[in-house]
Chain A
Amino acid sequence: MGQLRTAMAEAGLSIPELWLRYFALGGTATAAQMEAHMDGEEDRAFVVDDDLQHDTLVQALNERFMELHRDDALPYERG
């Protein structure tokens, strides 16, 4: 299982829940594209701004970890 999938499971979020958080942070991809990215299926994943969309998704997960008082944040693509 990929790192993002593992993180989503640890965060206790479903795909629709995670997508809504990603959308709230300004994410522009569909839930299906987000899921494909998490599974490393890049041909079906983000169409534009790959790194930005990835980092927006990571931010959504890290904010959930913040809520859970876990300080092991996932790394960002753009540093």
Chain B
Amino acid sequence: MSAADGSGRRRPPPAEVLGPGALDGLLHTVASLARATVDGTDGVSVSVVRGEGYATATATDDVVRELDAVQYQERSGPCVEAIDTGEQVAVALAEAEARYPRFAASAQQRFMTGVLSTPLTAGHDVLGALNCYSASTERFSAGAADVATQIAGHASVLLANATTLSAATTTNEQLQQALVSRDVIGQAKGILMERQGCSAEDAFDVLRRASQRQNRKLTAVAQDVVDGRAPGGMG
């Protein structure tokens, strides 16, 4: 995480994020993807920096939106902390009463048990946070935290390209496909890096050469690796 040293500067994302428009749909896609793929997640929101405060750009349900608002009011809670420090924050709510008194109480009244907030960064700037709320898990696993980090990475690149995407007539379906493809390729690179002890660049080269050899799209080749169906010569 580029802002992991805590020196992240707050930077509001493009204005369209907070108003009606293509970008809201785009962030909603990211939130839905996080709810479907981050293990233990029941509700997701995307917080963004607005002036000196914070705002929720999208949420998968109203409870999550309300709990975000409690954090903004108090300027205290995992998503506020993730934005202010530029670092991922995971909390078990039963143990967070001293750290975030009002938020922990409100969230538990709403039957929430754990929260995982991951900052959205562009260079050294913090644009917002991806917040995963759970009503079933107290502690998100390391694997879930990694998936959240990957999705936050996708969201950050999308936010940085908000203007391009608003101008293009990109449908939600195309965007969803692009996100899924990017995710599969990211997973396949991770598998190859671990298996071959190579860099992310080298892993991409392996996938790319296999794609050329087989005359198939890189996403299809990456899906083979993720499914454990990688042919010989790919490690």
- When distances are taken between beta carbons in the complex, the residues of chain B under 8 Å from A28 are 157
Main secondary structure of the interface of A (DSSP, over half): helix
Q: How far is the CA of A60 from the CA of B6 in the complex (A)?
A: 35
Residues of B within 8 A of A43 (CB): none
Which residue of chain A is the closest to B185 with respect to CB atoms?
A26
**Contact status A24-B168, CB under 8 Å:** no
A15 to B170, CA, bound (A): 12
The stretch from B28-36, B46-54, B57-65, B212-220 touching chain A is B212-220
A17 sits at the interface (CB 8 A): yes
- Produce 1/0 per residue, A35-66, CB < 8 A to B: 00000000000000101100110010011001
Inter-subunit contact B164/A25 (CB<8 Å): no
Evaluate contact between A20 and B178: CB separation under 8 angstroms. Answer: yes
Q: Which residues of A contact B181 (CB under 8 A)?
A: 24-25
Q: Which of B145-182 contact A (CB under 8 A)?
A: 157-158, 160-161, 164-165, 167-168, 170, 174-175, 177-179, 181-182
Contacts A25-B182, A55-B208 given: A31-B215 contact, CB under 8 Å?
no
The distance in angstroms between the C-alpha atoms of A37 and B85, with both chains bound, is 33
| B contact set with A: CB distance below 8 Å | 157-158, 160-161, 164-165, 167-168, 170, 174-175, 177-179, 181-182, 185-186, 189, 200-201, 204-205, 208, 211-212, 215, 217-219
| A interface, CB within 8 angstroms of B | 14-17, 19-21, 23-28, 30-32, 49, 51-52, 55-56, 59, 62-63, 66, 73, 76, 78-79
